Amino acid sequence: MNFERVAVVGAGTMGNGIAHVCALAGIEVTLVDSDPAALDRGVATVDRNLQRQLSKGRISDAERIRALDRIVPATELRLAGGAGLVVEAVPEVAALKFDVFEQLDRLAPGDAILASNTSSISITAIAARTSRPGQVIGMHFMNPVPVMKLVEVIRGLRTDDATVEAVMEFSAALGKTPVEVRDFPGFVSNRVLAPMINEAVFALMEGVAEAEAIDTVMKLGMNHPMGPLALADLIGLDTCLNILEVLHGELGDDRYRPCPLLRQYVAAGWLGRKAGRGFHDYESGR
Ligand code: NAD
């Protein structure tokens, strides 16, 4: 299924990337953010990233201009109402997502599909806030969206087959590889990644090896493009801790218990790259 108009709600890190790939695939996009400054930043980021693709020869200047023209910025959620598919990318706060979905359910046409880019909140719980749980689904894009190929398509308990099919097809039309997974805490991506990062932090805490050595073992020995501690620094240690808390709380299994050293780094404000320091030091250029 193809959608002529898509609305993306939230123009931050993920939302502007989602708008970017939709517009480049020829789809009209309404990009909504309640904060006008964030909306401007989101559109400017799309512009900059399209320029980068042009300079690398990946798109033509005509494609860049057309893509930018297809994005209509808006600050009011009601303007998302005309789209056949809405992709929500507001911050990872359950109450906020529930509120946005309740509003979208009232605003969007009865046959529209409502998708969330959440990394950890239950799609089944979000869907239950609407009168159309069969048409609610997860579209978990990866960061940076224009570069990363995967869309983890999350099927909630009540998601219809037709919704899954439409979103799988649409994701493929964006040039992505969609993979269907069921709605369990952390889905597949974070269910597998977060414990690996956590185990690397335990290894560091227990003095099995230094951070650099742990990362080198995983890069050269397991062919990972980045070591787990460097990846944790990139994701943000606060985000890693949040994901582990969700897995630990919802699955109730101690194998997801966040490492005390991870908690300590977050408490210290050593949140990774964005703070200049995490398991590696980014300020001294190491
Ligand atoms: P972000 O903070 O960069 O952007 C969120 C945007 O939503 C902000 O611009 C904010 O102004 C806007 N917003 C807040 N409330 C709104 C509302 N009621 N209506 C419209 N806009 C509103 O966040 P992000 O990193 O882009 O994350 C968005 C979602 O994507 C989260 O659910 C997150 O878990 C998920 N996600 C993030 C990443 C990542 O690496 N950042 C990766 C995968 C999934």
Convert the pLDDT of each residue in 160-211 to its tens digit.
Answer: 999 999 999 999 999 999 999 999 999 999 999 999 999 999 999 999 999 9
Q: Which of 30, 33, 120 for mutating ligand 1's site (highest number of atoms within 8 Å of CB)? A: 33
How remote is the CA of residue 54 from the centroid of ligand 1, in Å? 26
Helices (H), 56-179: 61-69, 94-107, 123-127, 161-173
Give pTM, 2 decimals: 0.92
What's the confidence (pLDDT) of residue 2? 67
Q: In what order do the strands lie in the sheet with 136-141?
A: 71-74, 28-32, 5-9, 85-88, 113-116, 136-141, 150-155, 177-182
How remote is the CA of residue 30 from the centroid of ligand 1, in Å? 16
Tokens 């991870």 found at = 262
What's the confidence (pLDDT) of residue 239? 87
| Per-residue buried b or exposed e for 199-212, using 16+ beta carbons within 10 Å of the residue's own CB | ebbbbbeeeeeebe
Active site members: 119, 140, 152, 190
Supply the residue whose CA is at minimum distance from atom 12 of ligand 1. 10
- The whole-angstrom distance between residue 16's C-alpha and the CA centroid of its chain comes to 11
Q: Which two tokens stand for residue 104?
A: 């979208």
d(CA 53, CA 57) in angstroms, rounded, equals 6
Nearest to 94 by CA among 128, 132, 122, 136: 122
The neighbouring-strand residues paired with 280 are none
Mutual angle of helices 260-268 and 237-251, in 10-degree steps = 140
Neighbours of 79 (CB within 10 A): 16
Supply the residue whose CA is at minimum distance from atom 27 of ligand 1. 91
Whole-number average pLDDT of the chain = 96
Residue 285 above 80 pLDDT? no
14 lines ligand 1 (CB under 6 A): yes
Q: Tell me: the pLDDT tens digits for 225-284?
A: 999 999 999 989 998 999 999 999 999 999 999 999 999 999 999 999 989 999 999 987
Helix or strand holding residue 139 (H, E):
strand 136-141
What's the confidence (pLDDT) of residue 120? 87
d(CA 205, CA 163) in angstroms, rounded, equals 45
Q: Which two tokens stand for residue 45?
A: 């980021």
Helix or strand holding residue 72 (H, E):
strand 71-74
